[in-house]
Amino acid sequence: MGWVLRLGLEFRATLDEDLTPAPFTILGWSVPAIEDVVRHLGEQSVAFERFPGMEQDELGIWSTPGGERVAWFKDPDGNLLSPTQV
């Protein structure tokens, strides 16, 4: 059993009952408009992570010193995934 995420591409993940979630981003990809992605996923009940000490905006998006914008959410196994706008 798995789930499918469609954002102009198809991404599929498989659930593994014996998996220990990684404490870091396990998969990240570039998106052209991160606000659109975060809003769309939020409408699908995806909860975005917030991290202490990181200044994230109201959507949970963090701006890096280099100008990239990143957000994080967990897959069904608890691993962190992150779309990034470069």
Domain boundaries, the chain: 26-85
Going by C-alpha positions, the residue among 85, 68, 75, 69 that lies closest to residue 41 is 75
More confident residue, 8 or 23: 23
Residue 13 in this model has a pLDDT that exceeds 60: yes
In 3-state terms, what secondary structure has residue 6?
A: strand
Domain 26-85 bears CATH identifier 3.40.50.800: no
- Cα–Cα nearest to 31, from 23, 44, 40: 40
Choose among 44, 29, 42: nearest CA to 80: 29
Confirm if 81 and 75 have CB atoms less than 8 A apart. Answer: yes
Q: Phi and psi at residue 42, in whole multiples of 5°?
A: -60, -40
Q: Which residue has the higher pLDDT, 23 or 35?
A: 35
Banded model confidence at residue 18, pLDDT cuts 50, 70, 90: confident
The model's pTM is 0.78
